[in-house]
Amino acid sequence: MDSRMDMRGGHAPARRLYPHASAEAAMIDRERLHEDGYVLLRDAIPADWLDPLRDAFDAGVLPSSQWPVPRGPDWRHSQLDLDPMVEAVCRLPVLLSAAGALIGERFFLAQVEGREPLGGGGQQGLHRDYSAERPGDTVNALAFFDDFGADNGATRLIPGTHRPAPDALHIDLSEESRAIQLSGKAGDILVFDADLIHAGTLNPSGARRRSILIGYFAESRHASHLQTAHLRGVRMDTSERFEP
């Protein structure tokens, strides 16, 4: 994997508990972040949080039929957006700093959901999730509760593809050769612009790869977010605002 965007350190939970975390947030190379469209924050989640987070994931697993909109059959999905520790992960200062740097204006935590590729599943074609109103108004993060790599369906991505030229919006499948297969440890967090080309990968081993997918939206998106939140199973309060 390309290690340019790795960051070591960062045992930094919620600001009210770890006020020193602002120094770690300042370590992010914002110029490189904007250039590549992603950052992999190493060891961002405190190690002693991981077992309770895994328990929260497993307790929140719901079959596809119990979600407002059916979910993919080759993934395990967990509804855990009301769990206090999950909410604390979403507010890690270093994570908020990276998301805010990409969004560039006041933003809010829109949703969080647990996802895990099942054995023999998880393969996705390269795609963009797309911003809504302007480039950069939507940022995603994957916080990993288990080690991840090629053997259990980790994310792959193509750095720098989040601001394509107008004539380059189509994703050519031949670009797979440019994709980087990420790997890392439980506690790492991937933060990326929603327009970055990325995809999940086949989980050939069946080894567990629990994570939470977090969405951060620019403040201007809040009204439209509320109109569709119920379709995504969002139960959490999204009124809190964060500064970039």
Q: Bigger pLDDT: 135 or 24?
A: 135
Greatest alpha-carbon span in the chain: 47
Instruction: Tell me the pLDDT band of 9, cut-offs 50, 70 and 90.
Output: very low
Q: Strands (DSSP E) along the chain, which ranges?
A: 6-7, 38-41, 75-78, 107-117, 138-144, 156-157, 180-181, 189-193, 198-199, 211-218
Kindly report the average pLDDT of the chain as a whole number.
Answer: 88
Q: How far apart are the first and last CA of the chain?
A: 28
Instruction: Tell me the pLDDT band of 26, cut-offs 50, 70 and 90.
Output: low
> What's the pLDDT score for residue 86?
98
Say if residue 8's pLDDT is above 90: no
Instruction: Tell me the pLDDT band of 25, cut-offs 50, 70 and 90.
Output: low
Contact of 94 with 25, CB cutoff 8 Å: yes
How many C-beta neighbours within 10 Å does residue 70 have? 11
Instruction: Tell me the pLDDT band of 65, cut-offs 50, 70 and 90.
Output: confident
Nearest CA among 160, 199, 185, 126 for reference residue 39: 160
The dihedral of CA 9, 15, 18, 22: what is its sign? positive
For residues 179 and 202, give the distance between their C-alpha atoms in angstroms, rounded to a whole number.
14
Q: Which amino acid is it at 84? A: P
For residues 162 and 69, give the distance between their C-alpha atoms in angstroms, rounded to a whole number.
28
Q: For the residues 47-65, what does the mean pLDDT come to?
A: 96
Q: For the residues 176-182, what does the mean pLDDT come to?
A: 91
> What's the pLDDT score for residue 12?
34
With a pLDDT cut of 90, the percent of the chain lying above it is: 77
Q: Which amino acid is it at 14? A: A
Instruction: Tell me the pLDDT band of 176, cut-offs 50, 70 and 90.
Output: confident
Say if residue 112's pLDDT is above 90: yes
Q: For the residues 7-17, what does the mean pLDDT come to?
A: 35
Say if residue 17's pLDDT is above 60: no
> What's the pLDDT score for residue 174?
63
For residues 178 and 227, give the distance between their C-alpha atoms in angstroms, rounded to a whole number.
37
Q: How many Cα atoms within 13 Å fall on the side-chain side of residue 97?
A: 22
Alpha-carbon radius of gyration of the chain: 17
Collapsing DSSP states into helix, strand and coil, what is residue 31?
Answer: helix
